[in-house]
Amino acid sequence: MFNALSDTFNGVHSWLLEYICKCKNGEIIVGHELMQMLDILLSHFKDESIKVDFADAHKRIKFIETKCKHSEAPSAGKPFILELFQKAFIEAFYSFKIYDDELGRWVRKYQDFLLVIGRKNGKTPLVSAIDLAEFFCGPMGTKILCSSNDYDQADLMFQAIDAMREQSPSLSKVTRKNIKGIFFGNPKKPKHTGKFSYKNKGCIKKISAKTGAKEGKNIAVGSVDETHELKDNSSIMPIRQALSTQDEPIYGEMTTEGFTNDGYLDQRMIDARKVLNGQLERPRWLIWIYTQDSEAEIWQDEKTWVKSNPGLGVIKKWSYLRGMVEEAKTSKSTRAYVLAKDFNIKQNNAAAWLTKNELANEATFDPEILRGCVGIGAVDLAETTDLVSARMTVMRPGDRTKYTIQKYFIPESKLEKSPDDVDYLEWARQGLIEISPGNDNDFSLITQWFVKTVKQYGIRPYKIGYDNALAKYWVKDMETTGFDMERIPQKREVMSTPMKLLEADLQSKLFNYNYNPIDKWCLENTAMDIDKLGQIMPVKVQGNQIKRIDGTVTMIITNAVLVQYRSEYMKLVG
């Protein structure tokens, strides 16, 4: 008779049952969604239509722990000793069998799995080890495909597999690697017959969504890493279809949460949660999700962090995660990144950037206080419909505050009808916008404004930042006038750090934009687009595509120049 509180079944120790017991009694803290899956698995032990057989799982666990070694610091060269949660996962996938009438035998119940887990918890090494174990422990001719959204990510899994293979004398001597993949048969120590000879046509290859799935025909195992980056299932379906000829295929998806809106993972998570709640029937899908039950618990109780990070304290450092959470409390971009990647809480990739408090700086200044100081200029050009933003940001000796003088430009035709729900004409009356006659912006007016500003306030211009778009002839005009121009491409790797610096300055009230209403409006319209590396870019808030962010862009551009030339500029400031 099965005892739900025991860690043995039919006299055999079960890592899965041990894990379930410890989760049930609170010794291990897990989120609600994983507990739902554990309850489903627990019911399998009492289901007469399901056969429980640990042999396949324990064979692969033994293979990993005796044949595989870690390849990366700080554990490089050490045996791959699995944690309890990893053994439980392997047992859950391999140990339950159902009878297949078509095949006339018992087969593995679970064919697909979804593993969602916080970053740096050993996700890629674990699945790589499972793939290598399947390559050796599975049937002859097993073909495995490693896939991801980009080639580099797919290569991470492939290289992890190959590193484990290379570090094991017994594995490396019966296999070989070339540019096409990993194969059985070693030309230096050839075997002429059997599973480990050239006659075994099994292989391990890699592919990315960007190169298509042409290599995905007739495979036995398909592993897709970082599915949060996929926009749709176009690269997934060829892999899944390539598994259709197998009696017991293995299709695995492993990921953290991400920032792709309405992407492939979003729908998978919706379906997964329906399965866990009994609203959708997918009996052959193992859903193993490490998630928080709420965002609030992250900030209130660090003990709950293990819900998304089961390897915390062993694989992932507590000190590292504590540091990231502290940083996330003051940085919007870091917060979005940490919530998605460390705690699996989905973030909008165009999330609102600034809070009302960060926008609430009503400080003003008299530009006369900048007389004799050194300034950094910036321009975000637009030919017709958008505003053109020009500004000069200045720092004073012994003063950490950045003061900015701004001017906006707009074509006359734009004043007739504005879809932006703002009164450009009133702003023009206030002297905040200069109107260009006709349908186009007159770039010469921008040059004239810079010349006037420099002369009026005695500001010494250091460099003027600009993007390349539309700037060719205007840049020549500015250089002829005597300005030192600096191209600042509006790319994520260039804009990310300056944008984060602007956020910090606004939080600390160290960026004084003279409470200019257009600057404030542009800041309110700005969202941040964040990528898998935590780099950010300014974009328009979703649903407000007609709004303008040109003023924000020029603020970031002045920061970009400052970041690039900080030492030289600060010497000039004095």
Task: State residue 195's pLDDT score.
Answer: 87
Residues of 479-498 as b/e, b for ≥16 C-beta within 10 angstroms? Answer: eeeebebbebebeeebbbbb
Residue 26: both structure tokens together:
């609170």
Query: For the domain 8-294+302-341, what is the CATH code?
Result: 3.40.50.300
β-strand pairing of 460-466 with 374-380: parallel
Neighbours of 571 (CB within 10 A): 9
Task: State residue 467's pLDDT score.
Answer: 86
Residue found under tokens 């460099």: 463
Task: State residue 5's pLDDT score.
Answer: 65
For residues 341 and 531, what is the distance between their CA atoms, to the nearest angstrom? Answer: 11
Give the three-state DSSP class for 147: strand
Q: Give CA angle at 39 (38, 44), nearest 5°.
A: 95
β-strand pairing of 526-530 with 351-352: antiparallel
- DSSP H or E segment with residue 115: strand 112-116
Domain boundary assignment for the chain: 8-294+302-341, 356-573
Task: State residue 211's pLDDT score.
Answer: 55
Note down pLDDT in tens along the chain; length 574 residues. 455 567 888 889 999 999 999 999 999 999 999 999 999 999 999 999 999 999 999 999 999 999 999 888 788 889 999 999 999 999 999 999 999 999 999 999 999 999 999 999 999 999 999 999 999 999 999 999 998 877 777 888 999 999 999 999 999 999 999 989 999 998 887 777 888 888 899 999 988 765 554 444 789 999 998 888 888 888 788 888 889 889 999 999 999 998 877 889 999 999 999 999 999 999 999 999 999 999 999 999 999 999 999 999 999 999 999 999 999 988 888 888 899 999 999 877 666 688 777 887 889 999 999 999 999 999 998 654 578 999 999 999 999 999 999 999 998 887 765 556 788 888 999 999 999 888 888 889 999 999 999 999 999 999 999 987 667 788 999 999 999 999 999 899 999 999 999 999 999 999 999 999 999 999 988 988 888 788 999 988 765 667 789 999 999 999 999 999 999 999 999 8
How is domain 356-573 classified at the CATH fold level?
Nucleotidyltransferase; domain 5 (3.30.420)
Q: What is the largest CA-CA distance in the chain?
A: 92
For residues 321 and 314, what is the distance between their CA atoms, to the nearest angstrom? Answer: 13
Task: State residue 533's pLDDT score.
Answer: 82
Task: State residue 66's pLDDT score.
Answer: 95
Q: Mind giving me the DSSP string for 343-365? A: T-----TTEE---HHHH------
Task: State residue 187's pLDDT score.
Answer: 83
Task: State residue 268's pLDDT score.
Answer: 94
Task: State residue 234's pLDDT score.
Answer: 81
Task: State residue 152's pLDDT score.
Answer: 79
Task: State residue 416's pLDDT score.
Answer: 62
Task: State residue 531's pLDDT score.
Answer: 83
Task: State residue 1's pLDDT score.
Answer: 41
Give the three-state DSSP class for 31: coil
- pTM of this structure: 0.80
For residues 550 and 386, what is the distance between their CA atoms, to the nearest angstrom? Answer: 8
